[in-house]
Every structure is written in structure tokens, then in C-alpha cells.
Amino acid sequence: MLASLTAFAITSAARLLTGARALWLGCTARPVQRLYYANHSSHGDFVLLWASLPEELRRRTRPVAGADYWQRDTLRRYLINEVFNGVLVDRDRSIPDANPLQPMLDALGNGDSLILFPEGTRNLEEGLLPFKSGLFHLSNARPDIELIPVWIANLNRVMPKGRALPLPLLCTLSFGAPLEKIEGESKDAFLERARNALLAIAPEEV
């Protein structure tokens, strides 16, 4: 009950503070299993994307997050585990032989959708950093799941680094068309195509 109330408070606050609008440009908000992949410029990115989904989709959509950040204290552990139902990945590779994608594959196997940031870290510059290979391997392992690019615009300007209060700017989340599957495509070609699909729905100033 407490987790549900906390989730409601966070999603309401996120939409109120950012004026977030979800623009379904190339797909519709239908309840199918998906992997939403987005640009990453702020710690609030996954919260805003998660909050922008209709409740039916949000219930089965889990953000992928770094265990090193979200396991630091009791509050973060509660939020990521109980409120957001996140999928934690071991970015430090504390068990060298473990497959870092396994928690995501397990979640997909359970029928969940995921929110992923393939740049791998926050990008405070314009444009996109090169994508990490995880998106390619997940797509190969589960070709039945839709890959949806999502461009998050203005969140880094609403809450710039070092500022305690948000600026009054409108955030938009543009949901693009599912990435087409191409049989036998190489990793590098796939990642470049996925990156271009995300850039294609970004505002013109990017």
C-alpha cells in the first residue's frame, strides 16, 4: 500500500514539475511487451519515462538501473525495489563470470517490459554517445519484443546540475516506431541503426 502511494506521489510530482507530454509518434500506447530505449542526460530520466506511461503499461514496465547507485542507502533501495520494481545490473562486475544481462533476460522472460539507456551513462552534451552492446544482445535473445526509441527532451534543462528547484520548461517524451528486425545484421550496424532511429525523433536543435 505504501509503495503504491509513493509511486502515485512520484508520478504525479514528475508530471506536475516538468509538464511532461508523451508524444506517441510511431507507435501507440498498447499493452504489448517492449523494450523502451532512451537518451540519458539526468538521474530523473527513467522516473519521467516510467511516469509518462499509462498505468496499464507502467505496471509491467521496469527500469534498468545500476546496482552500485541504487543500493547505496535504505531509501534508494526501497524506491528501486518496492516502488519502481527496477531491474538492477552489476556494472562493477563483482562476479566476473556472471552474465550482466541475465537480470534483464529474466525480467523479459517473466513478461515484463524494460526501460533501458544504451549510452550506459549520463550524457551532458548534445547528441548521443555511442551505444553499449547490451541492446544488441537483448534484441538477439528476444527478437519477439518490440524495441521502441524514446527521446526525452528538456529534462536536463528543467533540473540542471546543482539547481535545487526546477525551471519552468516543458518536457516531451517522443515515442518512435518499433525498430525493424534485420536478419543477420552485425552488432555495429544494429547499434548505429538503433542510435539513428533515436536521433530521428529528437528535436531539431539536437
Mean pLDDT (whole number) for 59-71: 90
- What's the pLDDT at 156? 53
What residue segments make up the domains of the chain, in order of their start? 2-199
C-alpha span between 201 and 149 (Å, rounded) = 8
Mean pLDDT of the chain: 86
List pLDDT tens digits, range 94-128. 777 778 899 999 999 999 999 999 997 776 666 78
Mean pLDDT (whole number) for 147-169: 63
Q: List the Cα angle 17/20/24 in 5-degree steps.
A: 170
Read off φ and ψ for residue 90, nearest 5 degrees.
-90, 90
- What's the pLDDT at 100? 86
Q: What is the pTM of this model?
A: 0.87
Q: Are 119 and 131 in contact (CB under 8 A)?
A: yes
Question: What CATH number is given for 2-199 in this structure?
Answer: 3.40.1130.10
Residue 66, all three cell numbers: 545500476
Helix (H) or strand (E) run with residue 109 in it: helix 102-109
% of the chain beyond a pLDDT of 70: 88
Q: What is the Cα gyration radius of the chain?
A: 16
Provide the β-strand partners of residue 148: 36
Mean pLDDT (whole number) for 179-203: 94
135: Cβ–Cβ under 8 A, 6 or more apart, which residues? 35, 37, 116, 118, 147, 190, 191, 194
Q: How many CB atoms lie within 10 A of CB 1?
A: 5
Kindly indicate the confidence band of residue 159, based on its pLDDT and cuts at 50, 70 and 90. very low
**pLDDT for residue 93 is more than 50:** yes
